[in-house]
Amino acid sequence: MKVSDLTWDPFIYPRANKSQKTITAYVEALGSGAQFPPIKVQRVFNYDDGDRSAIFTLVIDGIHRWFAFQEKGIKAIEVVEWQTTALDYKEHKTALLLESAVCNISHGDRLNTSDKKRTARVIAESDPESKWTESALAEKLGVRQQTVNGWISDIRARQKTNRNSTILRLSRLGWIQEKISDVMGVSQNRISEIIGNTIFGNFDNLIAQGHDMEYIARHFQMDLSLAWALRLTGKKDQEKFKALGWGLRTWDQWSFNECDQRFGEDWPGRIPAQLVAHTLFYYTKPGDLVLDPMAGGGVVPDVCLIFERKCQAFDLATQENRPEIEYHHWNPQKKKWPATKKPDLIFFDPPYFTKKKKAYKEKATRQTPSISSYKKKDYEQFFRAFFLLARENTKQTRMAFLNADWYDFESTPAPLEDPDKSITIFDFHRLLSKTGWRTIRRIETPLSSARMSGNQVQKMQNLQILGTTGRTLLIAKKV
């Protein structure tokens, strides 16, 4: 088959980034006359939204071989077809993804754990009826069932969430019945019945019988954060920390190794639920209203739910299963403030300049871009305008503002760092002070450096590159 007639579909081919190292090794092998086995392909239709009947041939196994052939300038490549008839792409998307993953597990540049996790999560998301059991996925992906459980339990719990649980969730976050009724398409009478009558049985009994919270959430068809919220209702904040297994930090260094997978979605730039819980503990009380302007995967609403704070959350990216995150594209020049009530706390976790720019861009549109696509000047301008707008629209509100120093640290040796190419916490402090906010606290909440491989670290050291793991929470008060 002609090399140029093949298509690479990054969704199906589960490797997040293709490996140039492998391609180079293959090119060298081809140069010394090596023979490679055929690559696996699948013909599909309904792939291109323009012409649905057009046939595309997707590579499902052998992407590195294919790239090596291209680099070497070889025009034809031997292929085998997975299924001999062309498939409807939209219908078979996940089956193709899984087949590709399975091929990659057994040979070549094996799939790494995060590729497998992504595959499992994509399949679980597209399979609300749980036709793919955890054990079947584990077998296909060559991992233990428990591992798959850990990867997808939040998705499964959400998929099983029934309408009553969602109504209860929104009500507990402070939504008025009229608004719940609009969003959920259920009459207000029915909503007050649901809120008034929902008795979810005795959680403690189930726990005494040895069931864990995942089981209980599934049993009552609710998401995990609501299950925890119901179980811990009326308890003191400190008791909640204890029940959740979170040590309460007494000093201003909040270092958490990992995000707690139980709360919030797997989202680019997701923050640890513990970080949010500490902010709520120190700067709010039960019943207070928290505004999260850029809520992402929803960890702030989840923690608010458990700690009995009300919450209004917005983002340009919304998700069907999280109606509590409302659509809003912040463009402070337009002066629109979508929150209906004045918050006691704004928990603001915006993109850290261009970090994860690609991931946020995928969720945004050209007309409503993520601020991570802005130039430095516009990014700063955005915050100046946002802080002013927030000041105008709030009462004695505190702002918890999370950000990290941004430098072009991946490629610039420390002696060559250019201050014009960085945005640091000092800049945010300056912007806050100029817009009527006084920073009253600086809390260090560092990111983990464990994600860097030994090789990457060695490279940085050789080049005198100083990495950044700092992340800072500023607490500001209106002047």
User: Could you say whether residue 99 binds ligand SAM (CB under 6 A)?
Assistant: no
Answer for which of 315, 324, 344, 405 binds ligand SAM (CB under 6 A) is: 315
The least distance separating ligand SAM from the CB of residue 266, rounded to whole angstroms, comes to 9
Q: Within a 10 A sphere around the Cβ of 137, how many other Cβ atoms?
A: 24
Contact predicate 240/232, CB 8 Å:
yes
The least distance separating ligand SAM from the CB of residue 121, rounded to whole angstroms, comes to 15
How many residues interact with ligand SAM (rule CB under 6 A)?
A: 22
Q: Which is nearer to ligand SAM, 349 or 427 (CB)?
A: 349
User: Could you say whether residue 296 binds ligand SAM (CB under 6 A)?
Assistant: yes
The least distance separating ligand SAM from the CB of residue 273, rounded to whole angstroms, comes to 8
Answer for which of 274, 370, 403, 445 binds ligand SAM (CB under 6 A) is: 370
DSSP 196-220: HH-----HHHHHHTT--HHHHHHHT
Q: Which is nearer to ligand SAM, 71 or 266 (CB)?
A: 266
Q: Which is nearer to ligand SAM, 174 or 298 (CB)?
A: 298
Answer for which of 66, 254, 256, 267 binds ligand SAM (CB under 6 A) is: 267
The least distance separating ligand SAM from the CB of residue 176, rounded to whole angstroms, comes to 23
Please tell me whether residue 399 adopts helix, strand or coil conformation: strand
Q: Which is nearer to ligand SAM, 404 or 460 (CB)?
A: 404
User: Could you say whether residue 241 binds ligand SAM (CB under 6 A)?
Assistant: no
The least distance separating ligand SAM from the CB of residue 302, rounded to whole angstroms, comes to 9
Site stretch for ligand SAM (CB under 6 A), options 43-51, 183-191, 309-317, 392-400:
309-317
Q: Within a 10 A sphere around the Cβ of 412, how many other Cβ atoms?
A: 17
Q: Give the C-alpha separation, 59 to 40, whole Å.
A: 6
Contact predicate 273/259, CB 8 Å:
yes
The least distance separating ligand SAM from the CB of residue 189, rounded to whole angstroms, comes to 34
Q: Which is nearer to ligand SAM, 62 or 264 (CB)?
A: 264
Contacts 24+ apart (CB under 8 A), 446-452: 446/255, 446/470, 446/471, 447/404, 447/471, 448/257, 448/258, 450/257
Contact predicate 127/94, CB 8 Å:
yes
Exposed e or buried b per residue across 53-74, where buried means at least 16 C-beta atoms within 10 angstroms of its C-beta: eeebbbbbbbbbbbbbbbebee
Please tell me whether residue 275 adopts helix, strand or coil conformation: helix
Pairing between β-strand 87-88 and β-strand 472-478 as defined by DSSP bridges: unpaired
Please report, as residue ranges, which positions from 327 to 366 form the binding site for ligand SAM (by CB under 6 A). 328-330, 349-351, 360, 363
Q: How far is CA 253 from CA 273, 439, 447, in A?
A: 15, 17, 12
Answer for which of 14, 174, 264, 301 binds ligand SAM (CB under 6 A) is: 264
User: Helices 224-232 and 237-244 meet at what angle, rounded to 10?
Assistant: 130
Q: Which is nearer to ligand SAM, 198 or 331 (CB)?
A: 331
Contact predicate 54/48, CB 8 Å:
yes
Give me the residues that bind ligand SAM (CB under 6 A), please.
264, 267, 269-271, 294, 296-297, 299, 315-317, 328-330, 349-351, 360, 363, 370-371
